[in-house]
Amino acid sequence: MKKIQLTKDDLQSVLDFELVNFERFTSATHVSIDSRTITEGSIYVAIQGEKLDGHEFAKEAIKKGACAAVIAREKMSGLLLPKNFPVIIVDDTTLALGLLASLWRDKLNAKVISLTGSNGKTTTKDVLVQILSESYAVIGTAANNNNHIGVPLTILSANSDCEFLVLEHGTNHFDEIAYTASIARPDLAFITNIGASHLEYLKNLEGVKKEKVALLYACEKNNGTIFINVDDKLLKPLAKEFEKCITVGTKASADYSYKFKGYNKNGYPKVHIDFEEKAMEITVPLYGKHNASNLAAAVAIALYAGMSKSAITAGIKKVQPAKHRLVPIELKKALILDDTYNANPQSMLTSLDVLRNIKTYKNRWVILGDMFELGEQSEKLHKSIVPAILKNQNIRVFTLGDMMYSVFKELKKYYLPVWHFKDKNSLFEAVNETDFAHSAILIKGSRGMKMEEVVEAIVRKFEE
């Protein structure tokens, strides 16, 4: 395998780089921000993080074989690096990482597929990577490493043998996707949906749309193909805006159409997919009606990429839920739905619908923590999940946090068994005293609430 290399000419082409001692530099085959992963021929990029400053580990990276280091101008005087060592001096090392990833992107043979959306982007990415891997060499975003640092690092992880690079683009501020998409320059782009996420910074749904659609414009600029979810009312009009556009949705008029066919007895959704008079009947190995659309989008992209139906089916059978994303944990006479990775109003509604359609347990519990980054609409959006809670039969509710108190008060109006907790310790005490036997238990909240600790507490309780 011929390795991708960043040469002296490549680095000299970047106007923002001040190259020092580069008469001693030949080429680099690896780029890293972690001194622990440095090997011979690596460029080490010193990133200033919230807790650690990568500049403090520059000498360690050099000792381990780094062939050059990217250093912030303001840090140079205090580092005392080895004499004659090649250094790339920049004003912002994080931006420099992006520039190195952009140079790397130019050298890839892979087709780049970029995904974003308010909900479902990680699942769609994971399913697509699993399916494509049946026929191709694929690199995908690890977990949700999807920000201004994660996207460049994922690009830099791809080698010359990679045939498809599947990137997830996340955001919580304006212009973040425009930045990562300018580095990725996707050959194919897809937005799962537009929902009420990160409203503290993106303000409203139009703001969310503006931020997400930047991915499509970057794809168009690269003469790429754009997939549009025409079931999303904010995305549907875009189908007429892009020349190289393929539609996915539940209407027969969509280029790739699908139908939700209900659930099996264990609560898993079934979907029928049509494409150019071909059809596929699939049971989605992930909870939630929303995963019918996530899977349909992944299948459509895989079919467009030239995969056979048999290879797609084989890939789907290997799909596993992402960590803390509606992961079923089977206990003795009970089932936990660990959906603790994050939460926004739409994903709350989705998860509550999943709980409602699990018929194998008599009782249902929901243990819900606050949803963050909802701005001035926070209380209203928290209350919006109440009707979905009420649709669940034999339901009992624990709420945790300042904003979930509004949900507690609303549910009390319906004389529902509901208890509110201001802190996690008091919630843990209630958990230890509660009989969860013969129950399906949904646990969910925003990342900062660390609701996975509640999952762990209930698992321990059943193991005692």
Q: For residues 110 and 388, what is the distance between their CA atoms, to the nearest angstrom?
A: 43
Ramachandran category for residue 153: left, alpha or beta (phi over 0 → left; psi -120 to 50 → alpha): alpha
- Cβ neighbors of 126 (< 8 A, separation 6 or more) are 140, 319, 322
pLDDT, tens only, 366-412: 999 999 989 889 999 999 999 999 999 999 999 999 999 999 999 99
- Higher per-residue confidence, 265 vs 42: 42
Cα angle: 175, vertex 113, 108; to 5 degrees: 100
Confidence of residue 119 (pLDDT cuts 50, 70, 90): confident
Helix (H) or strand (E) holding 444: strand 439-444
Q: Give the pLDDT of residue 144.
A: 74
Per-residue pLDDT tens digits for 172-216: 777 899 999 999 999 999 999 887 665 666 667 777 888 889 999
The model scores a pTM over 0.75: yes
Q: What's the mean per-residue pLDDT of the chain? A: 92
Backbone phi and psi for residue 179, each to the nearest 5 degrees, phi listed first? -70, -55
**Domain 327-463, what fold?**
Protein-Tyrosine Phosphatase; Chain A (3.90.190)
Ranges for all domains in the chain classified under CATH 3.90.190.20: 327-463
Burial of 384 (0-12, 13-18, 19+ CB in 10 A): middle
Tell whether the model's pLDDT for residue 290 goes beyond 90. no
Is residue 276 predicted with pLDDT exceeding 90? no
Which CATH superfamily does the domain covering 6-92 fall into? MurE/MurF, N-terminal domain (3.40.1390.10)
The CATH number of the domain covering residues in 108-316: 3.40.1190.10
- Mean pLDDT in residue range 299-312: 94
Q: Residue 403: its pLDDT value, please?
A: 96
pLDDT of residue 346: 87
The pLDDT score that the predictor gives to residue 202 is: 62
* Top-confidence range, 160-174, 255-269, 412-426: 412-426
Q: Which of 70, 75, 71, 65 is nearest to 41 (CA)?
A: 65
Cα–Cα dist 69/61, whole Å: 8
The whole-angstrom separation of Cα 147 and Cα 197 is: 15
